[in-house]
Amino acid sequence: MAACTPTPSDSESNIPEFECIDVNTKPFHIGSFRNEWLKRLKPWHYSFQKEDEESFHANFAADLGLSDDTMAELRSICSVDSLRCHPEGEEPEIEVVPPNPTLKTLIQRKKKQDYKATLKIAKNRHDHLTEQMERLVVRGQAYRGCDLVDEGDVLLTVNVYHKGFGEKFAIVRPHTCFLVMGSHTLTDLRDAICCVSDIQVCGEFSSTPDVAPDFISKDLFKSAFFFFEGVFYNDMRFPECQDISATTIEWAKSHNFPEFQQAKMEDTRFLDLKVKVGYPYLYCHQGDCEHLVIITDVRLLHMNDCLDKQQYPLVIHKHRAVTQKCAVCYTFIGRWYTTKDQFAPSDPCIFCDKCFRMLHYDTEGNKLGTFEAFAYVDRGAFN
pLDDT tens by residue, 65-117: 888 888 888 888 887 777 666 667 777 677 778 788 888 888 888 888 888 77
DSSP state string for 317-378? EE--PPP-B-TTTSSSBP-EEEES-TTSSSSSEEE-HHHHHHHHB-TT--B-SS-EEEE---
Query: According to DSSP H, which parts of 41-185 are helical?
Result: 53-64, 68-77, 104-117, 125-137, 167-172
pLDDT tens by residue, 243-288: 889 989 999 989 888 889 999 999 999 999 999 999 999 999 988 8
- Per-residue model confidence (pLDDT) at position 2: 37
User: How large a percentage of the chain has pLDDT more than 90?
Assistant: 22
Q: State the chain's mean pLDDT as an integer.
A: 81
pLDDT tens by residue, 175-217: 888 999 999 999 999 999 988 888 888 788 888 888 767 778 8
pTM of the model: 0.77
Q: Is the peptide bond before 6 cis (omega within 30 degrees of 0)?
A: no
